[in-house]
Chains A and B, each alone.
Chain A
Amino acid sequence: DVKVTQSSRYLVKRTGEKVFLECVQDMDHENMFWYRQDPGLGLRLIYFSYDVKMKEKGDIPEGYSVSREKKERFSLILESASTSQTSMYLCASSLGGSGNSPLHFGNGTRLTVT
């Protein structure tokens, strides 16, 4: 079974702090994604990566950056956390690029910025 592990289940940070969310997958998948999930809005793509050191902006990249130094690890960075970034963050990976290559999600990190 594919396992996608997010380092923290819950995080509480203060406004202005730099926040790191870590994600590791164990199936040698090429593609990794960071989403945020908010009630009534579904999942919105922040950034994705289709190869080591490659990254592409998703729909809502503002205020975020990412790092992919190794194939199995994809980090999301909030440079200066704001209360508007309080949300559930989901990491996912996939083998291929088409919809028929399903996304495998981690259990999420619920981030609260106070």
Chain B
Amino acid sequence: GQSLEQPSEVTAVEGAIVQINCTYQTSGFYGLSWYQQHDGGAPTFLSYNALDGLEETGRFSSFLSRSDSYGYLLLQELQMKDSASYFCAANMDSNYQLIWGAGTKLIIKP
């Protein structure tokens, strides 16, 4: 079957760096997206990796290794407002469908 695996929960301290991993098993693969969702809110797009390597957008970076079927989201200088759930999602053969991970709840402690 097709699936994405990510940790259910990660805890970090304000000001620190945290990495959220995502491994995928899909029949085809075009790229990996990351979304953030605050409690009670809508998921919002963070990043997309189609090629191997690191993509940086401010405090957030996303990495992809196609050979390892693995990606991660890196959050630096953590702020309390980063407390949210983070989802990885993979594009497969179809351009319209994403396969989603179950989400990682990021808990930030002061």
Question: Interface of A with B (CB < 8 Å)?
Answer: 4, 31, 33, 40-45, 48, 50, 56, 58, 90, 96-100, 102-108
A43–B102 Cα gap in the complex (Å)? 7
**Min CB–CB distance A102 → chain B (angstroms):** 3
Q: List 9 A-B contacts (CB under 8 A).
A: A31-B96, A40-B8, A40-B102, A42-B4, A42-B87, A98-B91, A98-B95, A99-B91, A102-B33
Please pick, from A41, A44, A98, A107, the residue contacting B41 in the complex, using a CB distance under 8 A.
A107
A40–B31 Cα gap in the complex (Å)? 23
A48–B97 Cα gap in the complex (Å)? 8
Binds A, one of B13-21, B42-50, B75-83: B42-50
Across the interface, which residues of A come within 8 angstroms of B45, CB to CB? Answer: 102-104
Task: Tell me whether A100 and B50 are in contact (CB under 8 A).
Answer: yes
**Min CB–CB distance A107 → chain B (angstroms):** 5
A40–B101 Cα gap in the complex (Å)? 9
Please give me the residue from chain B that is nearest to A91 by CB atom. B42
Q: A31-B96, A43-B100 are in contact. List 16 more A-B contacts (CB 8 A).
A: A33-B96, A42-B4, A43-B87, A44-B100, A45-B97, A48-B97, A90-B43, A97-B95, A98-B31, A99-B31, A99-B91, A99-B98, A103-B45, A105-B43, A107-B41, A107-B42
A98–B91 Cα gap in the complex (Å)? 7
Please give me the residue from chain B that is nearest to A38 by CB atom. B102
Across the interface, which residues of A come within 8 angstroms of B87, CB to CB? Answer: 42-43
A67–B74 Cα gap in the complex (Å)? 39
Across the interface, which residues of A come within 8 angstroms of B108, CB to CB? Answer: none
Across the interface, which residues of A come within 8 angstroms of B30, CB to CB? Answer: 98-99
Task: Tell me whether B42 and A108 are in contact (CB under 8 A).
Answer: yes
Please pick, from B31, B43, B44, B96, the residue contacting A43 in the complex, using a CB distance under 8 A.
B43
